[in-house]
Amino acid sequence: MKNIQQIMKQAQQMQEQLQKQMAELSVEGTAGGGMVLVRMNGLKQVSEVKIDPDAAGSGDLEMLQDLVVAAFNEAARKVDEAMAGQIGGLTGGLRIPGMM
């Protein structure tokens, strides 16, 4: 039983370390050739949105909305990739159920 407790403690430490690393991560997603930029941390919390004045002033609200969605999705994809890389680094490449 002691080995299981040690394994659980190590898993909890790995999870805490991963959460800290992901909170410190910053990624950017862009769309429309950089007309829209979304910056988020590894916890997928948006910290910044930049919209080029030309995109905002174009009058095409639907296009602007699509660009914001695309930039957000790109940033979220980058977070997922970073998390997969971090988990792979922490587990030595082992695939642990529930950890992606």
Task: State the CATH number of the domain containing residue 58.
Answer: 3.30.1310.10
Task: Give the pLDDT confidence score for residue 48 in this predicted structure.
Answer: 97
54: domain range?
26-91
Cα distance between residue 28 and residue 32, in whole Å: 14
Q: Nearest to residue 86, comparing CAs of 73, 75, 100?
A: 100
Would you say the pTM of this structure is higher than 0.75?
no
Task: Give the pLDDT confidence score for residue 8 in this predicted structure.
Answer: 86
Task: Specify if 99 maps to a domain.
Answer: no
* Contact yes or no for 39/46 (Cβ under 8 A): yes
Tell me which amino acid residue 93 is: G
The four Cα atoms 69, 75, 77, 79 give a dihedral, to 10 degrees, of -140
Task: Give the pLDDT confidence score for residue 44 in this predicted structure.
Answer: 93
Structural domains in the chain (count): 1
Task: Tell me the per-residue pLDDT of 45-97, one tens digit each, with 9 for 90 and over.
Answer: 999 999 999 888 878 899 999 999 999 999 999 999 988 887 776 656 555 55
